[in-house]
């Protein structure tokens, strides 16, 4: 059983299990969705058109990798660059710059589950109003620079440490995110509890994060693993992050033999293919995603590349992110459609025009698995739409293609809310 748990926590298991789902989909045997493969080329064309509009014909190489950095620059304001310039003027070297960015990105990404359709953040310095991921990014940046995440007596130096997170009160997070009855955010209590758990876990791993439990100390640890070279291994980073994060997720997540396995969920179409008498039957019926850990991995890779000029090996092991923007793209474009029984159940739950399900509902798990399947197919086809000599990484496709396209088509179809075509009742720690 221990080997099964280790496997389900790995990056390889995510795509392996999604490939099984792909076989079921191709045979027309999904439980909750109809797959229209004839619509997939339309989706490829749409995503390609968005990428070409923003980066063609000569700037495909400038597409940044998918990561948190871009969200801090909403409104075309180079907040990270400006902050780094201030740090440099005070004598901060590149290693410490990277440590501070890792500190910031850690908390900001883990706070970056869906905020809901009504929450907004007003930036104190400018009065500009932001929403969703960018709003969370700017809000978390402001809290970071005002030392909300540290118990250190370091004065004006913005860092994150375990004690600071461990003591974080829900009220402080709500105030920092300007949450009120008139400005509600999904899962504020859960987000605050997640950061408190993160603080305890950071302090429990001083070999990586130091006695103070500082996320930025990951920089020193990873540089040691490079042994003087300029290459870092995504799989090493992944194992560190899983060891750190698995204990912090809500206690009602999936477990096997009492061991938590994070963002990994039972899926009927996998369970139906397994011999129920097999000792590994429970594990074999689970589809792992580890979306926030992957989002964090993508995000943490960027400061190492941009500031320290280090490169990553095994980056191709990372998958698409199975969340509502990437998944919503395929629903809005007709590649996936809910079967009537599931649709009716979701509409009854919402009482509105869009279906609603819990995050662990089998329909949502199937949707997320199909999102992985379809983006892998789309990725394999997109290159021919870009022209000779153009090669996009998965991180670039997510950034300039599927995530942005999913957001744009949602705004076109539902301009009032810009919501996903399928609603998810989230606790603020999944999406």
Mean pLDDT in order along the chain per 10 residues (431 residues): 90 96 97 97 96 93 93 94 95 97 96 83 94 94 95 80 96 96 91 95 98 97 94 97 93 87 95 79 92 94 96 96 95 98 98 95 98 96 87 94 96 93 80 53
Same domain, 424 and 275: yes
Please provide residue 231's backbone torsions phi and psi, each rounded to the nearest 5 degrees: -115, 130
Would residue 256 count as lying in a domain? no
Same domain, 273 and 416: yes
Same domain, 117 and 210: yes
Tokens of 246: 């698995």
What is the predicted pLDDT for the residue at 430? 63
Domain boundary at 225, 253, 272, which? 225
Same domain, 49 and 77: no
Tokens of 425: 């009742």
Same domain, 123 and 182: yes
CB hemisphere CA count around 290 (13 angstroms): 29
CA torsion, ordered 53, 64, 369, 244, to nearest 10 deg: -160
Same domain, 117 and 86: yes
Would residue 353 count as lying in a domain? yes
Q: How many domains does the chain have?
A: 2
What is the predicted pLDDT for the residue at 152? 77
Q: What is the pTM for the complete model shown? A: 0.93
Domain boundary at 197, 225, 253, which? 225
How far apart are the C-alpha atoms of 332 and 110, rounded to whole Å?
A: 27
Same domain, 74 and 129: yes
What is the predicted pLDDT for the residue at 428? 65
- Which residue range forms the structural domain that includes residue 36? 1-66+263-431
């Amino acid at each position: 059983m221990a080997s099964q748990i280790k496997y389900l926590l790995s990056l390889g298991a995510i795509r392996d299990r999604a490939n099984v789902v792909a076989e079921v989909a191709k045979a027309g045997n999904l439980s909750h969705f109809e797959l229209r493969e004839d619509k997939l080329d339309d989706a490829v064309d749409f995503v390609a058109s968005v990428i070409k509009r923003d980066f063609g014909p000569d700037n495909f190489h400038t597409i940044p990798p998918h990561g948190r950095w871009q969200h801090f620059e909403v409104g075309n304001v180079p907040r990270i660059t400006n902050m780094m310039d201030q740090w440099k003027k005070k004598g901060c070297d590149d290693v410490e710059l990277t440590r501070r960015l890792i500190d910031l990105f850690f908390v900001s990404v883990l706070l970056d589950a869906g905020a809901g359709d009504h929450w907004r953040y007003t930036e104190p310095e400018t009065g500009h109003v932001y929403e969703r991921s960018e709003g969370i990014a700017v809000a978390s940046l402001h809290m970071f620079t005002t030392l909300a995440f540290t118990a250190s007596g370091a004065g004006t130096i913005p860092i994150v440490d375990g004690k600071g997170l461990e003591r974080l009160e829900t009220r402080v997070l709500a105030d920092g995110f300007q949450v009120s009855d008139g400005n509600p955010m999904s899962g504020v209590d859960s987000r605050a509890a997640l950061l408190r758990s993160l603080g305890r876990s950071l302090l429990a791993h001083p070999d990586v994060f130091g006695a103070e439990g500082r996320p930025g100390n990951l920089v020193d640890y990873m540089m040691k693993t490079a042994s003087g070279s300029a290459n870092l291994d995504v799989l090493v980073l992944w194992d560190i992050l899983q060891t750190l994060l698995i204990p912090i997720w809500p206690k009602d997540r999936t477990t096997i033999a009492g061991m938590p396995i994070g963002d990994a969920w039972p899926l009927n179409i996998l369970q139906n293919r397994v011999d129920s008498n097999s000792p590994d039957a429970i594990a074999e019926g689970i589809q792992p995603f580890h979306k926030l850990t992957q989002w964090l991995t993508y995000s943490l890779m960027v400061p190492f590349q941009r500031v320290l000029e280090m490169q990553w090996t095994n980056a191709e092991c990372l998958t698409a992110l199975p969340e509502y923007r990437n998944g919503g793209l395929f629903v809005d474009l007709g590649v996936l459609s809910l079967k009537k029984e599931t649709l009716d159940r979701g509409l009854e739950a919402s009482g509105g025009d869009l279906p609603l399900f819990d995050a662990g509902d089998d329909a949502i798990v199937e949707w997320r698995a199909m999102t992985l399947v379809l983006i892998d197919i789309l990725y394999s086809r997109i290159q021919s739409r870009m022209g000779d000599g153009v090669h996009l990484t998965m991180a670039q496709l997510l950034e300039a293609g599927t995530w942005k396209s999913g957001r744009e088509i949602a705004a076109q179809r539902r301009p009032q809310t810009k919501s996903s075509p399928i609603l998810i009742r989230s606790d603020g720690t999944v999406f």
